[in-house]
């Protein structure tokens, strides 16, 4: 986190089950409440209305699940990162859980600036053969124009450049499972928007990965801009 003083930390958390229907702002409030219950030594901003120094990554659309969401926060003193996930998870609503924590390097860039691709695993209402045919046909096209809502109004945009890869998982499972990887920069798209423009109906969607890519290598956010854990001394 740029320009921070204190101990910057990155958390990975999951969002599963009924809690997928609460929005990004409600998740943020639940997290901040859990931090207070866990008595984390949060650093606060200065000014007339101080607020905890917590920065969330890419927003997850309401109704979608995730195996890998991330946030950065600043503490005024260090804490036991091995114990932190369980301590915070115990104060979160059912379906939200912190599953990893790491110290950030000084002046780490914001998550929203550096995540360049996300992975999704979705199910669709159509049968496997129809889903496979629709995806293969769509990926041969030079553009895929989709009507989307941006800032309260409908716009028509080409989502074809957003799609990095996409396929139906092998087999005849019903509902069929579609795996896809989508770019987030210079702009992204929701998995249900991508599926809809192909004539497919998204039933469920789960974000499986977020990627930070540099110099030909890709890293999950908990492995990028973070410091390795200090090795504990062995008891003699």
Among 172-176, 196-200, 218-222, name the one with the lowest average pLDDT.
Answer: 172-176
Is a pLDDT exceeding 80 seen at residue 230? no
Could you tell me the pLDDT band of residue 174, with boundaries at 50, 70 and 90?
A: confident
Give the pLDDT score at 45. Answer: 87
Q: Do domains 7-111 and 114-219 have the same CATH topology?
A: yes
State the pTM of this model: 0.90
Give the pLDDT score at 24. Answer: 93
Give the pLDDT score at 147. Answer: 85
Is a pLDDT exceeding 60 seen at residue 231? no
Give the pLDDT score at 13. Answer: 98
In terms of C-beta density within 10 A (0-12 exposed, 13-18 middle, 19 or more buried), how is residue 7 classed? middle
Dihedral (CA of 217, 223, 226, 232) sign: negative
Domain layout of the chain by residue ranges: 7-111, 114-219
Among 12-26, 52-66, 149-163, name the one with the lowest average pLDDT.
Answer: 149-163
The Cα–Cα gap between 81 and 33 comes to: 19
3-state DSSP of 84-97: HHHHHHCCCCCCEE
Could you tell me the pLDDT band of residue 3, with boundaries at 50, 70 and 90?
A: low
Which distant-in-sequence residues (6+ apart) come within 8 Å of 17 by Cβ? 65, 94, 95
The Cα–Cα gap between 86 and 80 comes to: 11
What's the mean pLDDT in 194-204? 96
The Cα–Cα gap between 232 and 209 comes to: 30
What is the fold of 7-111?
Alpha-Beta Plaits (3.30.70)
Is a pLDDT exceeding 90 seen at residue 195? yes
* 3-class SS shares of the chain: helix, strand, coil, % to 5: 25, 35, 40
What is the fold of 114-219?
Alpha-Beta Plaits (3.30.70)
């Amino acid at each position: 986190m740029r320009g921070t003083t204190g101990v910057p930390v990155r958390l990975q958390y999951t969002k599963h089950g009924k809690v997928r229907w609460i929005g990004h702002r409600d998740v943020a409030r639940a997290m901040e409440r859990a931090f207070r219950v866990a008595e984390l030594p949060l650093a606060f901003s200065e000014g007339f209305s101080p607020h905890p120094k917590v920065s969330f990554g890419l927003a997850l659309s309401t109704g979608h699940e995730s195996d890998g969401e991330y946030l950065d926060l600043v503490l005024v003193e260090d804490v036991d990162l091995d114990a932190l996930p369980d301590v915070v998870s115990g104060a979160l609503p059912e379906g939200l859980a912190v599953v990893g924590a790491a110290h950030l390097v000084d002046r780490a860039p914001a998550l929203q600036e550096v995540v360049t691709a996300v992975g999704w695993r979705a199910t669709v209402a159509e049968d496997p053969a129809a889903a496979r045919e629709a995806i293969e046909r769509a990926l041969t096209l030079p553009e895929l124009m989709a009507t989307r809502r941006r800032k309260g109004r409908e716009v028509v945009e080409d989502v074809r450049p957003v799609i990095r890869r996409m396929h139906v998982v092998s087999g005849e499972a019903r509902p069929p499972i579609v795996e896809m990887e989508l770019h987030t920069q210079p702009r992204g798209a929701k998995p249900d928007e991508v599926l809809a423009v192909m004539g497919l109906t998204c039933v469920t969607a789960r974000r499986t990965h977020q990627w930070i890519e540099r110099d030909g290598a890709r890293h999950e956010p908990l492995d990028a801009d973070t410091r390795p854990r200090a090795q504990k001394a062995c008891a003699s």
